[in-house]
């Protein structure tokens, strides 16, 4: 009798948690990812602002799963999924499955604007973070040599589109970098023209958080010199900067796009009609309607739990990964998949040094206590002990000496491929 094969697409939070929970299952498990590493995305902004090194937030998938004897890893791009033949098509050929767990996550969404895709930087993958880090530092190198005032101002203007957690966290990190660290590296540069401007279509930052926490975050950001523009969106981007939807032009050499994500395009292989943000509507068990052998989890899955659509968050993906594995184990033993229930782990975001907002059901915290909690939770979730130790050391170093050690400009290409309008949803 041949053993069943479980293919897991994606080695992110959902895929790794599913693979680990299948340890000891009576099946061969194959994890396929385009990268050879698992990425801890919540700390990407710290790589993009020179605090952490890539190896502290990215870990080889093979290392993470090497003690699991029933598990193998393939580094390949998945191009298509054939539900009828039960095959996953990769660059290296077809992989047949008995059970499939799709956890390919999400990508930056430019809402079909090619100009925005071409002239802004995203913060979704490791290459994005390294490109961003290099570009930000390079602007200061250019500004230090620049003799023309208006060009120097443009080089030193940083626009962040989107005031969700990623935009807010990066704005906080940049303000710290610009006010405490770079002035020491560039003692002869006038830092007064440096601007960090956050553009948000809604009327406040951190829309998913309680208004009181968002108001606190706004006060802290403004106190740290970040300019907040509400009720406006970026309508156009080019080499000079951006134009807002009311026609205001902002000259900026660096524009960071954190205003949208969209579930992996692989979702379109699984259903004729993807849901909002390209997610795939799944049954309460995480199974794809009409295909009990296929489960979709994490950012790709659209699922209502007790009246709310589950957000694109790491704890959702992790819990769904474990649940999907349990479903597979039940099915292997002749049983049925069971309903998934999310245990809310809350949400949190830092607003730079000493301040974070934390929302855990009815409990809301902010300020220094929130920041300590943010540090503790993120440290706990980092996947290897070595990284926990190195990250903690870096944080302590930064806290005491106001130093972000990884201020290197290296050549990398961003993860975001300029999409054709048909690949993205329009707003
Ligand atoms: C900058 C940033 C900050 C964030 N901060 C937080 C936070 O503070 N707290 C929180 O809870 N959540 C946060 N999130 C969201 C969180 O990271 C996601 O919800 C979570 O990663 C989703 O897990 P997943 O398994 O669905 O996808 P992912 O973790 O994104 O994993 C998807 C995997 O699939 C692979 N893949 C994709 N397409 C293919 C393909 N075609 N072929 C092969 N492999 C493929 C990718 O390489 C990746 O490894 C943040 C996200 C970002 C981008």
- Give 109's DSSP letter: -
Distance 384 CA to ligand 1 centre (A): 18
Per residue in 34-70, pLDDT tens? 999 999 999 999 999 999 999 999 999 999 999 999 9
254-275: pLDDT as tens digits: 999 999 999 999 999 999 999 9
- pLDDT of the residue at 231: 98
Tokens representing 197 are: 């401007």
pLDDT at 425: 41
Catalytic residue numbers read: 169
| pLDDT of 426 | 37
Given a contact cutoff of 8 angstroms between Cβ atoms, the answer to whether 53 and 130 are in contact is no
pLDDT the model gives residue 423: 43
| Span from the CA of 174 to the centroid of ligand 1 (angstroms) | 23
Cα–Cα dist 162/105, whole Å: 20
Amino acid 416: pLDDT: 54
Q: Which atom of ligand 1 is nearest to the CA of 316?
A: 19
Q: Which residues contact 405 (CB under 8 A, 6 or more apart)?
A: 50, 51, 394, 397, 398
Ligand 1, atom 5, lies closest to the CA of 42
Share of the chain above pLDDT 70, in %: 96
Distances (CA, A) of 202 to 33, 96, 224, 230: 35, 46, 21, 6
Q: Where does the pLDDT of residue 385 fall: very low under 50, low under 70, confident under 90, or very high at 90 and above? A: confident
Dihedral sign computed on CA atoms, order 101, 55, 47, 140: negative
Ranking 103-112, 163-172, 276-285, 402-411 by mean pLDDT, the lowest is 402-411
Residue 105: closest CA among 265, 286, 316, 263: 263
CA-nearest residue, atom 27 of ligand 1: 105
Spell out a b/e string for 60-80, using b for 16 or more CB atoms within 10 Å of the CB, else e: bbeebbeebebbebbbbebee
CA-to-CA separations, 331 to 144, 252, 320, 325, in angstroms, rounded: 63, 55, 16, 10
Average pLDDT estimate for 126-145: 95
Which token pair is 139? Answer: 């602007």
Residue 221 has pLDDT above 60, yes or no: yes
In eight-state DSSP terms, residue 27 is: E
Cα(290)–Cα(245) distance, rounded to whole angstroms?
Answer: 43
Using CA positions, which residue lies closest to atom 25 of ligand 1?
Answer: 14
Residue 323 has pLDDT above 50, yes or no: yes
Tell me how crowded residue 172 is: count the other CB atoms within 10 A of its CB.
25
Residue 315 CA, closest ligand 1 atom number: 11
To the nearest 10 degrees (0 to 180), the angle between helices 165-176 and 211-223 is 20
Ligand 1 geometric centre to CA of 46 (Å) = 16
Q: 331 C-alpha to center of ligand 1: Å?
A: 27
pLDDT at 427: 33
Query: Measuring from each residue's beta carbon to the nearest atom of ligand 1, which residues come in under 6 Å?
Result: 10-15, 32-35, 41-42, 44-45, 77-78, 103-105, 123-124, 165-166, 264, 266, 298-300, 312-315, 317
Taking CA atoms, 228 is separated from 150, 219, 233, in Å, by 22, 10, 12
Q: Which tops the pLDDT comparison, 384 or 270?
A: 270
pTM metric for this prediction: 0.94
- Ligand 1 centroid to Cα of residue 181, in Å, is 30
Query: Atom 37 in ligand 1: which residue has the minimum CA distance?
Result: 104
Q: Tell me the C-alpha distance between 27 and 328, whole Å.
A: 9
| pLDDT interval class at 387 (50, 70, 90) | confident
On whether the CB atoms of residues 134 and 330 are closer than 8 A, the answer is no
In angstroms, what is the span from residue 45 Cα to ligand 1's centroid?
Answer: 14
Task: Indicate the top mutation candidate among 129, 162, 278, 313 to test ligand 1's pocket, ranked by most ligand atoms within 8 A of CB.
Answer: 313
pLDDT at position 424 is 44
The mean pLDDT of the chain is 93
Which residue's CA lies nearest to atom 17 of ligand 1?
A: 41
């Amino acid at each position: 009798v041949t053993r069943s094969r479980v293919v897991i697409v994606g080695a992110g939070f959902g895929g790794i948690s599913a693979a680990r929970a299948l340890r000891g299952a009576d099946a061969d498990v194959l994890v396929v990812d385009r990268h050879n590493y698992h990425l801890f995305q919540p700390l990407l902004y710290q790589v993009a602002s020179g605090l952490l090194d890539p190896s502290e937030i990215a870990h080889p998938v093979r290392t993470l799963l090497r003690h699991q004897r029933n598990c193998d890893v393939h580094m390949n791009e998945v191009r298509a999924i054939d539900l009828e033949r039960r095959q996953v098509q990769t660059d290296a050929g077809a992989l047949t499955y008995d059970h499939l767990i799709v956890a390919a996550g999400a990508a930056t969404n430019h809402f079909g604007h090619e100009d925005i895709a071409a002239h802004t930087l995203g913060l979704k993958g490791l290459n994005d973070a390294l490109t961003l880090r290099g570009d930000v530092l390079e602007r200061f190198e250019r500004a230090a040599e620049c003799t023309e005032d208006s060009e120097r101002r443009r080089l030193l203007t940083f626009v962040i589109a989107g005031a969700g957690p990623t935009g807010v966290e990066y704005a906080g990190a940049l303000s710290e970098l610009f006010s405490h660290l770079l002035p020491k590296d560039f003692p002869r540069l006038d830092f007064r023209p440096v601007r960090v401007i956050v553009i948000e279509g809604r009327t406040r930052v951190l829309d998913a958080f309680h208004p009181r926490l968002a108001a606190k975050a706004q006060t802290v950001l403004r106190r740290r010199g970040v300019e907040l523009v509400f009720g406006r969106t970026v309508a156009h981007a080019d080499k000079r900067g951006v134009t807002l939807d009311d026609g205001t032009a902002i000259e900026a050499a660096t524009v960071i796009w954190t205003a949208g994500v969209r579930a992996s395009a692989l979702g379109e292989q699984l259903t004729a009609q993807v849901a909002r943000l390209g997610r795939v509507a799944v049954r309460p068990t995480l199974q794809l309607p009409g295909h009990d052998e296929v489960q979709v989890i994490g950012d790709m899955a659209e699922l209502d739990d007790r009246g709310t659509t589950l957000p694109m968050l790491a704890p959702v993906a992790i819990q769904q990964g474990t649940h999907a594995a349990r479903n597979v184990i039940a099915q292997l033993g002749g049983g049925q998949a069971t309903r998934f229930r999310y245990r809310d782990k809350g949400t949190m975001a830092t607003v730079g040094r000493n301040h974070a907002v934390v929302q855990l059901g009815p409990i809301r915290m902010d300020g220094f206590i929130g920041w300590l909690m943010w540090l503790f939770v993120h440290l706990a979730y980092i996947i290897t002990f070595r990284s926990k130790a190195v990250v903690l050391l870096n944080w302590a170093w930064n806290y005491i000496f106001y130093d972000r050690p990884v201020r290197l400009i290296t050549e990398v290409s961003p993860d975001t491929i300029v999409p054709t309008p048909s690949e993205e949803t329009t707003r």
